[in-house]
């Protein structure tokens, strides 16, 4: 397979991993799922680094990925221990529930609910029978005032 095509395939896979992780992080409120989404984003970056390293015939990108994996393992151990400690303390994994864990004197941030949209029921237009001129409202403007 052509080297450029192979690079493109690896970069697409890395970009997809990063995008899926980003969507997962932005849409979920469970801390464990958010953490897994962050790890997926990091693996997408690692795949892209290995692809560029292979394309340029240089091992520095692969060594950087090994370093990233080592740091990610340490990060996973620390993050999961913190998540377990906080989950035992509050018996909840929702990230919004942990707003109670703030410094003294700090104002709480309130999640505002999205206001319900008022649905206005507009009347449907009535069609006239074929060949009959419709009744026009004389007060209604029949042309555009601007384009």
Query: What DSSP string describes 20-56?
Result: HHHHHHHH--BHHHHHHHHHHHHHHHHHHHHHHHHHT
CATH of 3-99, one of 1.20.1280.290, 2.160.10.10, 1.10.287.3510, 3.40.50.450: 1.10.287.3510
Residues in the chain: 147
Q: How do the domains of the chain map onto residue ranges?
A: 3-99
pLDDT digit string, tens, across residues 91-138: 888 887 777 777 788 777 776 776 677 777 777 777 778 888 777 777
In the DSSP assignment, the letter for residue 109 is P
For residue 40, pLDDT over 80 is answered with yes
Stronger pLDDT, 12 or 143, i.e. the higher one:
12
CA distance 17 to 7: 15
Q: Which of 86, 73, 68, 77 is closest to 31 using CA atoms?
A: 86
Mean pLDDT of the chain: 85
């Amino acid at each position: 397979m052509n080297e450029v095509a192979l690079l493109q395939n690896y970069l697409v896979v890395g970009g997809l991993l990063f995008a899926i992780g980003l969507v997962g992080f932005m849409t979920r409120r469970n801390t464990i799922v958010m953490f897994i989404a962050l790890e997926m984003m990091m693996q997408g970056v690692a795949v892209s680094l290995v692809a560029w390293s292979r394309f340029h015939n240089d091992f520095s990108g692969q060594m950087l990925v090994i370093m990233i994996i080592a740091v990610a393992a340490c990060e996973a151990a620390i993050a999961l221990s913190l998540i377990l400690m906080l989950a035992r303390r509050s018996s909840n994994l929702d990230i919004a529930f942990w707003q109670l864990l703030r410094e003294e004197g700090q104002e709480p941030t309130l999640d505002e609910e999205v206001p319900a949209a008022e649905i206005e029921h507009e009347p449907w237009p009535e069609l006239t029978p074929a060949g009959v001129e419709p009744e026009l409202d004389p007060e209604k403007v029949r042309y555009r005032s601007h384009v």
